[in-house]
Structures are given as structure tokens and as C-alpha cells.
Chains A and B, each alone.
Chain A
Amino acid sequence: MNAITPPDPQPALPDPAVPAPGGRNPFGSGTVVLELAPSPLVRERMALALADLRGGWVFRRLAIAFAWVDIKLRYRGSVLGPFWLTLSTALMVAAMGAIYATLFHMTLRTYLPFLTLSLVLWNFLSTLVTEACTCFTVAESTIRATRLPLVVHALRVVLRNLLVLAHNVVVIVAVYIVFQIWPGRVALLVLPGLALWAVDALAVTMLLGALCARFRDIPPIVGSLMQMAFFVTPIIWKPELVGPARLWLLPFNPFYTLLEVVRGPLLGEAPSAAVWSSAVLASAALVLLGFWLFARTRARIAFWV
């Protein structure tokens, strides 16, 4: 320990090898002042939560890198790599398609495209929701080691699942080619649907992430709710099967309407106004609730994880 050299009392500032970027705190908003104090005012909390969300944009490359690393590590050393996802989805769709087309007395040509779309989209949704619950708790060591916008951890989960979804889209395309299906121009309506999904995905991840960091009983509850939703939502069964008398009930299931704004256009059907308004209402509620909860809990999450 004798090799310690005392630093100069008046530090000269040499050209730094790698300077810490100015304006890193809070999250690159162009200032290098970090001011922390409890914020009892709702308006202050909202402003800080918004600053965190903006930080997600500043650190977008980190979130993307995290998402890629997760995928790469999951399939490290395997020959097919992430295309195992594609293969397992293809097998599942083939097996379920054969069985349920017989059970529902439908031709494969009408049933299989529906089932493929439904399963791929639902898998995205249910995996996202499950992983959302742990988005902050699994990042515990990072959260406690450095100040990052919390939204980065939520973005990581959303982007990772988008990458998985992209691998599964291959199966959808393959089914469409095999059965020579072309949804037509109405398919363009999928774009607002996907935009809605993007916003909802981030909102639900922030909401569940914060909630589950505080209450560790939530993840199993969410798990069973999602399983229930799988059966009560027209995913493997076509919506028409409830019968014309009860068709009006379906838009009250937000899982159905959110699924339908993406699935409908790709099957060549424009979603009805009822479906759209239900999906938009559910999304608005989700976004408001998610933002409110995040604004309330943001400063506490580091203590909870």
C-alpha cells in the first residue's frame, strides 16, 4: 500500500481519455446538474417521470443492445439460434391446426391462417405481460449500481419480445404463401393497430414492472389471469362461434379487441367501430394508469427491487 501517490492538492485537469458525457444527468437533458429531493407535488412527479421516459430515447441504443444480448444468450451455442422460436411456433401451429380444424369442422385453408396469426400475436402478448412483471426486479444489480432511466429496463423487455415476434412472423408468411392468401389493401389498417400495440406494450411493462417490484404476489396472479384470458378470448376459436345473438358481447373483452385491431386487417377484415373504440379506450386506460403509477413509484423502485 506504499505505492499510493498522493494527488496534487490543486488538480490540473488533463485531457481525459474518455470523458464522462456532459449532460448525462438527469439523462442527457442538456444539463449536468442532478437535483434530488422528495417531490410531494403531483406535477413535479409527473415532470420527473416524463424526464425518465425521455431518457429512454437518449439511451435507446443501450435498450436495443440489451434486447439483442438477451436473445443471443438465450440461444447461445444452438445451431438454429433464435430460429428455434420459428420452428417451435410452426410445429405448434401445425399440430393445433390439424386438431382444431377437425373439431370445429373447418377447412384448413380458412382456419390455419386465423390460428397462426392468433397464436403468434397472443404468444407475444402473454410473454410480454409475464416478463413485464420482472422487468425491474431482474435488473436489480444494474439499478443499484448506476443511475439510468428506469424506462430502459422496460424498453429492453418490449424490444426483446418484438425481436421474438419478428422471428415468428416467418411462420405467418409461410402459411400465407402455402394457402396463397392475400389480405388485400385492408391489411394496411394493421399499421394503426401496431402503433396502438407499441404504446400499450410499453405502458403495460412499466405498470406491471412497478407494481410487481412492490408486491411480489402479483406475477402469479398475472400468470393465471393471462391463462384465463387465453380461453375466454377468441384465439383458437373463431369469434363467430359464440353465435350471432352474443356477438355484441365480445367488444367488452379488451383482449379480443386489442387482438382484433391487428389480426382483423391481416385476415382481410376491417375491424368494426365497436372493436376500435373498445381497443382505444382500453389502451387509454392502460396508458393513464401506467403513467400515474410510474410517476408515483419512480423514486421508490430502487428501494424495492
Chain B
Amino acid sequence: MAARIEVRGLDLAFPLYHGHARSLKKRMIASVAGRMGANGRMGEDSRHRVVVQALRDVNFSLTSGERLGLVGGNGAGKTTLLRSLAGIYEPVAGQVRIEGTINALLDASLGMHPELTGRENIRLRGLMQGLGGAAIARLEEDVREFTELGDFLELPLRTYSYGMMVRLGFGMATAIRPQVLLMDEWLLAGDASFMEKALARIGDLVRSAEILVLSTHAVEIVRAWCTRLIWLDQGRVRADGGVGEVLDAYLGHKPPPAPG
């Protein structure tokens, strides 16, 4: 079956129940606070709960072969959109339909535990992906080969250097080849010596996926990889089209924000 993504009228709002103690809420409030008033992104819903409107009336569809880039400032809703495509956040209104196997690379340290050995971490990650015994063995082999960690895989992660940890996390995340690849920009951050090898591996992964959705600030990557671009601004689609035109509009609008 050919992969396909269909998003219609997607609305997503975060309720703020737990006051100020939660870091996510703090971050969102901080990123939204500056713009409150003007666009009313933070407001009250019909039951007088404080909500942050993270996505508003997002519409697009992707077919096999399309590589979509998501650009926009911090807090524009890029990661939230990726999460709802991954089925983590279910829509408050509207509809998301994904046909095809999905791999979402959203969190570098997904399921990584410092006290477990590299190999145990790989196994847990495989189980999280719903892999069977044989596929987990292949995953381990693939990661061992790519990371060149050798016997370190038998040691707990806390004995690893930062670079080794990054290699393992990256190796595990990119070993599974889905039809629909959802990727957050953390994947593209790493030390220079590792980057070349990493980029080659991501290139492979991207080529083998039928649909790519990538959230990033890096203009070079967007130009090299994407065939289509959506510019998100405060939860809305501000522009949707070819890479050239949307990128020009986005970059002309304001200087590219600092990464991170």
C-alpha cells in the first residue's frame, strides 16, 4: 500500500491545569506570552479552562514521494504537528489519517536508560517499536555496526562519553525504516566528526521512506531534502508550497531564528 497522509481542519489545544509547576507549560507560556493579546492564542475554552491553541485549522495532504519541511519560529507548532501525525496527540477537532508504517524520531533519548547496557537499551527500543525477536537481533546488529561501539554495548550507558551516547541514540532511531518518517531537528545536531556518517545514514533513511515530514531551522537541509514546505506561524499554516517560494517568503519575513 502506498503511504499517504491526510490532515483536515486539525485543531489542537493544550489545557493548562496544573498551574506553573510543569516545564512544558512554562515553556509554552513563555513562548506565547509575548504575543498574547494580539492574536489571543492563549484563552479560555467553553468550560473556562485556560488553553493554549497549539494548532489551528491545519490542512494538507501528502502522497508517496513527497518530502515536507516544516519551518517556523520557536513555538510555532512544528513539533506539536509532528506529534499529532505520530498519533501521540489526538485532534481536538478535525482529522488526521496516516496510511503506512510510521517511525517518529522526536526524542533523542526515547527509552534510553543510563543504568542499562547499550544492548539492553537497544532491545527495549526494539520492543517499543513492536519488533519481534528476529527483528530485534537485526536491529542490534545494525546499530552495533553503525555506532562502532563494540564491547561498550555490554556496559551501562552511564560509562559512555557524550559522543558515544549520541551515536547510540542516533543509531537506534535511524535503524528502523518506515514508510512515513517523521523527524524533528535534534537528529541533525551532533559533533562534526560524526555528522558526515550520520548524514549519509539519514540520507539513506530518507531515500527509503515514501513520505518525509521534517521540522527544522536549517535552511540548507530544507533546500537539499524537501520538495514542499509549510510555514507554520502561531499554529496556523502561513504558507504552503514549493521550497523556493515559501523559503523566500519565510526568510524575507524576518531573520532566521536562532536554532534550538
| Known contacts A5-B224, A20-B101, A25-B87; is-contact A59 B129 (Cβ 8 Å) | no
B208 and A302 form a contact (CB under 8 A): no
Q: Which of B166-212 contact A (CB under 8 A)?
A: 175-179, 195-196, 199-200, 203-204, 206-210, 212
**Cα separation A126 to B89 with both chains bound (whole Å):** 32
- Residue numbers in B under 8 Å from A141 (CB-CB): 107, 109-110
Q: Mark B75-104, 1 if CB is under 8 A from A, else 0.
A: 000000001101111111111111111111
Contact of A18 (CB < 8 Å), options: B131, B203, B209, B218? B131
Q: CB < 8 Å: which of B130, B195, B199, B218 contacts A5? A: B199
Least Cβ–Cβ distance between B14 and chain A, in angstroms: 6
- In chain B, what residue has the closest Cβ to A33? B99
Kindly supply a per-residue 1/0 record for chain A positions 1-39, scoring 1 wherever the CB is within 8 Å of any chain B CB and 0 otherwise.
Answer: 111111111111110111111101111100011111110
Decide: A18 and B176 in contact? CB cutoff 8 A. yes
Query: With A1-B220, A146-B106 known to touch, is A58 a contact of B115 (CB < 8 Å)?
Result: no
Bound complex: CA A35 to CA B10 (Å): 13
A69 within 8 A of B: yes
A145 with B110, Cβ < 8 A, contacts A21-B131, A61-B127 known: yes
Select from chain B the residue with minimum beta-carbon distance to A4.
Answer: B224
Bound form: Cα–Cα A269–B95 in Å: 57
Chain B count of residues within 8 A CB distance of the other chain: 72
Q: Which residues of the partner chain A approach B212 to less than 8 Å between Cβ atoms?
A: 7
- Per the bound structure, the CA–CA distance linking A35 and B91 in Å amounts to 10
- The yes or no answer to A190 lying at the interface (CB within 8 A) is no
Is the CB–CB distance between B127 and A147 below 8 Å?
A: no
B162 within 8 A of A: no
- B87 near A26 (CB under 8 angstroms)? yes
Are A11 and B208 interface neighbours, CB within 8 A?
yes
Bound Cα distance A2, B196 (Å): 9
**A5 touching B101 by the CB < 8 A rule?**
no
Q: How distant is the Cα of A22 from the Cα of B109 in the complex, in angstroms?
A: 24
Segment among B135-143, B231-239, B250-258 that sits at the interface with chain A? B135-143
A62 to B110, CA, bound (A): 14
Contact A25 B102 (CB under 8 A): yes
Task: Tell whether A69 pairs with B221 under 8 Å between CB atoms, given A7-B67, A8-B207.
Answer: no
- Tell me, in angstroms, the Cα distance from A61 to B208 when the chains sit together: 29
Q: Is A142 an interface residue (CB 8 A)?
A: yes
> How far does the Cβ of A299 sit from chain B's closest Cβ, in whole Å?
4
Instruction: Tell me the smallest distance from the CB of B56 to a CB of chain A, in Å.
Output: 15
Pick from A13, A214, A299: contact of B90, CB below 8 A: A299
> How many Å from the CB of B243 to the closest CB on chain A?
11
Residues in A neighbouring B91, C-beta threshold 8 A: 36-38
B48 on the A face (CB < 8 A): no
Q: Are B221 and A4 in contact (CB under 8 A)?
A: yes
Contact indicator per residue, chain A 137-159, by CB within 8 Å of chain B (1) or not (0):
00001111111100000000000
A49 to chain B, nearest CB (A): 13
| Distance A67 CA – B208 CA, assembled complex (angstroms) | 35
Query: How far, in whole Å, are A13 and B179 apart by their CA atoms in the complex?
Result: 10
B88 surroundings in chain A (CB, below 8 A): 143-147, 302
A144 in contact with B107 (CB, 8 Å)? yes
Query: B207 → chain A, closest Cβ, in Å?
Result: 5
Distance (whole angstroms) from the CB of A52 to the closest CB of chain B: 12
Knowing A26-B87, A34-B87, A65-B123, the reply to whether A5 touches B175 (Cβ < 8 A) is: no
**B130 close to A18 (CB less than 8 A):** no
In the complex, are the beta carbons of A19 and B177 less than 8 A apart? yes
Question: Would B124 and A7 count as touching, CB distance under 8 A?
Answer: no
| Contact assessment for A1 and B86 in the assembled complex, using a CB-CB cutoff below 8 Å | no
Contacts of A9 in B (CB 8 A): 65, 227
State the CA gap A304–B177 with chains docked (Å).
Answer: 31
Enumerate chain B residues within 8 angstroms of A37, measured Cβ to Cβ: 90-91, 94-96
> CB within 8 A of B86: which of A11, A38, A58, A146?
A146
Residues of A within 8 A of B87 (CB): 25-26, 34, 36, 147
Chain B residues within 8 Å of A, Cβ to Cβ = 1, 14-15, 17-18, 65, 67, 83-84, 86-104, 106-107, 109-111, 113, 115-116, 120, 123-124, 127-132, 135, 138-139, 142, 175-179, 195-196, 199-200, 203-204, 206-210, 212, 218, 220-221, 224-225, 227
> Could you list 9 A-B pairs, sorted by A, with CB under 8 Å?
A3-B200, A10-B65, A11-B210, A18-B138, A20-B101, A33-B97, A144-B88, A144-B107, A304-B15
Chain A contact residues, CB within 8 Å of chain B: 1-14, 16-22, 24-28, 32-38, 58-59, 61-62, 65-66, 69, 73, 76, 141-148, 214, 216, 299, 302-304
Query: Across chains A and B, which 3 residue pairs bring their CB atoms closest together, nearest first?
Result: A16-B177, A145-B107, A20-B101
**18 further contact pairs, Cβ within 8 A, besides A6-B224, A34-B102, A59-B127:** A1-B220, A3-B199, A4-B225, A7-B203, A11-B209, A11-B210, A17-B138, A20-B101, A22-B101, A24-B101, A32-B99, A37-B90, A38-B91, A73-B116, A145-B110, A147-B86, A147-B102, A214-B17
